């Protein structure tokens, strides 16, 4: 089995990235599913990564306690940013979340306990690979079940026509805030899992560039089902590995993906939409 | 009174779209709001359903002051509406559209949804049955799995009515339900509206087609330039000099405009 260990070692980083990026793509999906645009996914991830790293390094807490708590700080920030902006037109959330990311980057750079430009290192590699994929599978399952329920129907309705959804009794603001919090939870988990797989985090891991990359995951894959954004994340994570030269122009590639997806693939690569009902008699 | 507005007004930057309108709609029956283009009918409906906030005045529904209640809470309180320009959820199925009308009645908890607990399954089955009944009411029961956007125009209008009716509202607001329909479709729509009223839902509809409204309504409110110029039985509306002037004057103006080179 030595060859397997070799393989795992070589591709350990890639395997972690695929799982973590899958979670990040889902955190984007949840927001897009209600017709909102947030560019704060990387910021939420950073909050999960930094807060979990501090809990491990400064307080020495065990990972099983750190992981669930890593969602708390991102959710608090989601409430703080979301509360005031969600009553406004959708573009304000996008702008406010970009702002959040930049402000946090400044904080990470300038606060000593957060390591400044050097970041935090020596984070215990306490997140096993299986846990990352278990969280990803759990997230897909939960989003699938919710998407097929009346909640998913209301989310789709408000994405298609907010006024009509409101008139059907959908509490738009509550849904926006709840989905933003759910997306903060997913990104926070991704941050904690990735911080505890790589031993190092730095302020630039969670800036504007990763925010755009996360958006491109969901735009490429689509939002027809929770599988679509994960597919998008996996393709965009694998592509630079397979085509090495692409790694140098990753940002350009992600930008191109967004333009192409918006212009030519408005429903993403996986346009299939999860069925909410099966025609009687057609059921298997 | 089921629905009451007092001195309800809505201003848009210098324009008074709804001007101190008093409206009193009793429980039961079919009631119409008519008036020429731009009279403020849709704005009045938006104020009643909560999509617009009044500049002044009060609205009460089923004995409760709802002036400050958000639109979703009004829907939950038993108010449903359709739109003058069709607003079905085009990429959702016809059945899913009807099910959104039941949103306020579904209250499964997240754990129940995720674990597909029996309570959730029962509620969902029940909702589907209600949605199917609403589709049957408007004659769309065979199109349940069609994409709503693929329906013909008249069918989309009927789907909006089914969606609004699915939750069993106390008050149904119809904004120009007959717009763009041919005479046969109009006759079928009149039958449908009567059936809805017979089920116990109070209907308040906006139209500018006088003959359609006259044969259908128990009471008529006439708006002109945002003002209520008449309220009473339809027969009396037809004889009212103010109403005649608003309508004839308007028609004459339209005719003249049409003849202008
Ligand atoms: N959002 C808005 N902003 C500015 N003016 C508006 C707005 N909505 C309506 N108005 C104006 O208010 C007046 C009343 O409009 P409204 O749509 O209520 O009339 P209506 O009676 O429904 O007309 P129609 O028969 O054409 O549907 C019109 O002059 C319209 O231009
Ligand atoms: Mg109108």
Here the CATH number for the domain that contains residue A85 is 1.10.3470
Do A277 and B128 contact (CB within 8 A), yes or no?
A: yes
Residue B184, exposed/middle/buried by CB under 10 A (0-12, 13-18, 19+)? exposed
Q: Looking at ligand 1, which residue's alpha carbon is closest to its atom 24?
A: B37
Range of the domain at A157: 14-278
Q: What is the mean pLDDT of residues B15-23?
A: 95
Do A164 and B91 contact (CB within 8 A), yes or no?
A: no
Domain residue ranges of chain B, discontinuous segments joined by +: 1-78+169-261, 87-168
| Per-residue pLDDT at A283 | 44
Is A3 domain-assigned?
A: no
Q: Is B41 in the pocket of ligand 1 (CB under 6 A)?
A: yes
Q: Is B208 in the pocket of ligand 1 (CB under 6 A)?
A: yes
Place of tokens 């957060």: A114
Residue A149 to residue B124, Cβ atoms within 8 A: yes
ipTM of the complex, rounded to two decimals: 0.91
Domain count, chain A: 1
Q: Looking at ligand 1, which residue's alpha carbon is closest to its atom 2?
A: B12
Name which of A145, A154, A172 is nearest B100 (Cβ-Cβ): A154
Residue B242, pLDDT > 90, answer no
Residue B250 confidence class, pLDDT cut points 50, 70, 90 = low
Q: Looking at ligand 1, which residue's alpha carbon is closest to its atom 22?
A: B42
CA distance A243 to B139: 56
Task: Give residue-wise pLDDT tens across range B112-129.
Answer: 888 888 888 888 899 999
Name which of A150, A156, A172 is nearest B92 (Cβ-Cβ): A156
Q: What is the mean pLDDT of residues B168-193?
A: 93
Is A112 domain-assigned?
A: yes
Report the b/e string of B19-43 with b at 16+ CB within 10 A: bebebebeeeebbbbbbbeebbbbb
Taking contacts as CB-CB distances below 8 angstroms, the residues of chain B near A150 are 99, 102-103, 106, 108, 124, 127
| Per-residue pLDDT at B212 | 86
Structure-token pair, residue B11: 């201003």
Residue B235, pLDDT > 60, answer yes
Is A263 domain-assigned?
A: yes
Q: Is B12 in the pocket of ligand 1 (CB under 6 A)?
A: yes
Do B50 and B74 contact (CB within 8 A), yes or no?
A: yes
| Per-residue pLDDT at B261 | 41
In DSSP terms, B25 is beta-bridged to: B3
CA distance B159 to B137: 10
CA distance B257 to B255: 5
Is A21 domain-assigned?
A: yes
| Per-residue pLDDT at B32 | 95
| Per-residue pLDDT at A268 | 80
Quote the minimal CA–CA distance from B207 to chain A in Å: 20
Which site among A34, A87, A167 would you substitute to test the B interface, given the most B Cβ atoms closer than 10 Å to its Cβ? Answer: A167
- If you classify domain B1-78+169-261 with CATH, what class do you get? alpha beta
Per-residue pLDDT of chain A (284 residues; tens, 9 = 90+): 566 777 666 688 889 999 999 999 999 999 999 999 988 899 999 999 999 999 888 898 998 999 999 999 999 999 998 888 877 767 788 888 888 888 888 888 888 788 778 888 878 887 889 999 999 999 999 999 999 999 999 999 999 999 999 999 999 999 999 999 999 999 999 999 999 998 788 888 898 888 989 999 999 999 999 999 999 999 988 887 777 777 677 778 777 877 887 788 878 888 788 878 777 665 44
Quote the minimal CA–CA distance from B37 to chain A in Å: 22
Residue B103 to residue A168, Cβ atoms within 8 A: yes
Task: Give alpha helix (H) positions in chain B.
Answer: 41-49, 71-76, 94-100, 110-114, 118-138, 153-165, 183-198, 210-214, 234-239, 241-259
Q: What is the mean pLDDT of residues B61-70?
A: 95
Greatest distance between any 2 Cα atoms in chain B:
69
Is A284 domain-assigned?
A: no
Higher pLDDT, B33 or A261: B33
Residue B101 to residue A170, Cβ atoms within 8 A: no
Residue B252 confidence class, pLDDT cut points 50, 70, 90 = low
Closest B-chain CA to A161: B89
Residue B260, pLDDT > 60, answer no
Is A29 domain-assigned?
A: yes
Is A226 domain-assigned?
A: yes
| Per-residue pLDDT at B257 | 56
First to last CA, chain A: 42
| Per-residue pLDDT at A1 | 59
Residue B99 to residue A150, Cβ atoms within 8 A: yes
Name which of A149, A153, A163 is nearest B100 (Cβ-Cβ): A153
Using most ligand atoms within 8 A of CB, pick from B13, B14, B16, B17 the residue to mutate for ligand 1.
B17
Q: Is B19 in the pocket of ligand 1 (CB under 6 A)?
A: no
Closest A-chain CA to B117: A145
- Does CATH place domain B87-168 in 3.40.50.300? yes
Is A4 domain-assigned?
A: no
Q: What is the pTM of this model?
A: 0.90
Q: Is B46 in the pocket of ligand 1 (CB under 6 A)?
A: no
């Amino acid at each position: 089995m030595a060859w397997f260990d070799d393989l795992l070692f070589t591709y350990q980083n890639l395997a972690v990235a695929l799982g973590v990026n899958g979670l990040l793509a889902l955190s984007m999906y949840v927001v897009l599913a209600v017709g909102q645009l947030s560019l704060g996914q990387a910021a939420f991830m950073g909050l999960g990564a930094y807060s979990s790293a501090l809990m491990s390094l400064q307080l020495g807490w065990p990972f099983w306690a750190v992981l669930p708590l890593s969602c708390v700080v991102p959710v608090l920030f989601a409430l703080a940013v979301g509360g005031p902006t969600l009553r406004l037109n959708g573009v304000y959330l996008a702008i406010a979340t970009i702002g959040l990311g930049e402000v946090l980057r400044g904080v990470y750079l300038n606060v000593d306990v957060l390591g400044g430009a050097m970041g935090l290192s020596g984070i215990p590699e306490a997140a096993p690979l299986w846990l990352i994929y278990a969280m990803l599978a759990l997230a897909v399952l939960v989003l699938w079940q919710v998407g097929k329920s009346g909640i998913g129907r209301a989310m789709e309705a408000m994405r298609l026509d907010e006024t009509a959804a409101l008139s059907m009794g959908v509490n738009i603001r509550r849904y926006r805030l709840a989905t933003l919090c759910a997306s903060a939870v997913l990104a926070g988990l991704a941050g904690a899992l990735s911080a505890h797989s790589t031993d190092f985090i730095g302020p630039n891991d969670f800036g504007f560039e990763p925010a755009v990359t996360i958006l491109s995951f969901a735009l490429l894959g689509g939002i027809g089902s929770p599988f679509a954004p994960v597919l998008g994340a996996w393709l965009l994570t694998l592509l630079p590995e397979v085509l090495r030269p692409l790694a140098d122009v990753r940002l350009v590639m992600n930008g191109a993906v967004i333009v192409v997806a918006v212009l030519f693939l408005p429903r993403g690569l996986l346009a299939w939409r999860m069925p909410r009902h099966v025609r009687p008699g057609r059921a298997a | 009174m089921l629905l009451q507005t007092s001195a309800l007004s809505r201003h848009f930057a210098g324009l008074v779209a709804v001007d101190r309108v008093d409206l009193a709609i009793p429980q039961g029956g079919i009631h119409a709001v008519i008036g020429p283009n731009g009279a403020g009918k849709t704005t009045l409906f938006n104020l009643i359903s909560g999509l617009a906030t009044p500049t002044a005045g009060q609205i009460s529904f089923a004995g409760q002051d709802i002036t400050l209640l958000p639109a979703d809470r009004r829907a939950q309180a038993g108010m449903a509406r359709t739109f003058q320009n069709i607003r079905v959820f085009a990429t959702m199925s016809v059945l899913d559209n009807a099910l959104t009308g039941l949103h306020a009645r579904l209250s499964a908890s997240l754990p129940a949804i995720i674990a597909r607990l029996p309570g959730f399954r029962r509620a969902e089955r029940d909702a589907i049955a209600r949605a199917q009944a609403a589709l049957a009411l408007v004659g769309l029961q065979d199109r349940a799995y069609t994409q709503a956007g693929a329906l013909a125009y008249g069918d989309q209008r009927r789907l909006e009515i089914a969606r609004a009716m699915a939750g069993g509202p106390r008050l149904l607001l119809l904004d120009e339900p007959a717009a763009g329909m041919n005479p046969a479709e109009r006759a079928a729509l009149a039958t449908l509206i009567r059936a809805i009223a017979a089920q116990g839902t109070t209907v308040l509809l906006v139209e500018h087609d006088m003959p359609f409204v006259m044969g259908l309504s128990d009471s008529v409110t006439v708006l002109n330039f945002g003002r209520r110029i008449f309220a009473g039985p339809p027969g009396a509306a037809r004889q009212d000099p103010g109403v005649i002037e608003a309508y004839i004057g308007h028609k004459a103006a339209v005719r003249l405009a049409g003849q202008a080179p």
